[in-house]
Amino acid sequence: MTSIRIRSAGSADPALIDDLVAANRILYDQGVVDAFGHISARHDKDPNRYLLSRSMAPALVTAADIMEFDLDSNPVDAHGRTTYLERFIHGEIYKIRPDVKAVVHSHSLGVLPFANTAIRLRPMNHMAGFLGSGPPVFEIRDTAGPESDMLIRNGGLGQALAKVLGSNHVLLMRGHGSVAAGQSIRHVVFRAIYTEVNARTAAEALKLGKPIFLNAREAAAAMKTNDAQIDRPWSLWKQQATRT
Ligand code: MN
């Protein structure tokens, strides 16, 4: 663990923390994360800080588990808590994408056929318009060589991954999983869920024949419509995931 002392940006908006905790539970409830995977949000008081749980299963996260990090992914307030090995995914994306306010990393299985083959993941229906003409695939061997454990465990790998993401909303990781980026926690949760749903339906369609996907204009228009209605699925998913 690092011994660097970094000043805190102060308390985040409690509503932002509430959404981040709910998002952890929703992503588990919807089958996007299991014991692994994580979601972060940019700090509302300082764009050079982000918020992410300590290392634990997302479905168990509470407000007390949320930690603050700088964009090099050093914890500001570790207090002996352990951090996710792959937190660099988040910090390095926030560095180069000022428009991004939340990031999800998951290992959901539906995307892997598209991460591990040359078949591009393209939008099957309007809910997945954010996929555009298909997410890029990050090949860790291009940066780490042939002997990595596949994890984004340092800033250099995170930087390489963020560069491949570029201006896209989703990135696939060969042999590993995916990343979604968005302008809010609600938007990124929507994208993470529909990336997985779209991957499953696209795989089915590819078995039948040659699917017709949304073209770039349809995808962009559908994304704009869905982005404006983000609170509707959020309230449903939140109620489902947080009911006792
Ligand atoms: Mn991972």
Q: What is the mean pLDDT of residues 129-149?
A: 97
* Tokens found for residue 195: 């990336």
What letter represents residue 233's amino acid?
P
Nearest CA-CA partner of 3 in 65, 78, 58: 78
pLDDT digits (tens, 9 = 90+) for 213-225: 999 999 999 999 9
> Quick check: is 160 in a domain?
yes
Nearest CA-CA partner of 38 in 20, 18, 24: 24
Residue 126 pLDDT greater than 60, yes or no: yes
Please tell me the predicted confidence (pLDDT) of residue 244: 66
Residue 71 phi, psi (nearest 5): -75, -10
The number of distinct structural domains making up the chain is 1
Exposure b/e, 141-159, CB count within 10 A at least 16 = b: eebbeeeeeebbbebebbb
> Quick check: is 191 in a domain?
yes
Contact between 56 and 65 (Cβ < 8 Å):
yes
Residue 70 phi, psi (nearest 5): -85, 175
> From ligand 1's centre to the CA of 150, what distance in Å?
8
- How far is residue 65's CA from residue 56's CA, in Å, rounded to a whole number? 9
> Quick check: is 243 in a domain?
no
Q: What is the mean pLDDT of residues 179-194?
A: 98
Nearest CA-CA partner of 214 in 120, 110, 132: 132
- Residue 77 vs residue 237, higher pLDDT: 237
Is this model's pTM higher than 0.75 or not? yes
Please tell me the predicted confidence (pLDDT) of residue 5: 77
Contact between 81 and 66 (Cβ < 8 Å):
no
* Tokens found for residue 90: 């988040």
Q: Which CATH number covers residue 127?
A: 3.40.225.10
Residue 158 pLDDT greater than 90, yes or no: yes
Residue 6 pLDDT greater than 90, yes or no: no
Q: What is the mean pLDDT of residues 38-67?
A: 98
Range of the domain at 218: 14-236
Q: What is the mean pLDDT of residues 166-183?
A: 98
> Quick check: is 154 in a domain?
yes
> Quick check: is 8 in a domain?
no
Of 68, 86, 92, 196, which is the active-site residue? 86
Residue 46 pLDDT greater than 90, yes or no: yes
Instruction: Please report, rounded to a whole number, the percentage of residues in the chain having pLDDT higher than 70.
Output: 98
Residue 35 pLDDT greater than 60, yes or no: yes
> From ligand 1's centre to the CA of 58, what distance in Å?
13
> From ligand 1's centre to the CA of 56, what distance in Å?
13
> Quick check: is 188 in a domain?
yes
Angle between helices 185-208 and 14-29 (to 10 degrees): 20
> Quick check: is 9 in a domain?
no
139 is catalytic: no
Pairing of strands 170-173, 137-138: parallel
> From ligand 1's centre to the CA of 40, what distance in Å?
14
> From ligand 1's centre to the CA of 108, what distance in Å?
10
> From ligand 1's centre to the CA of 126, what distance in Å?
28
> Quick check: is 80 in a domain?
yes
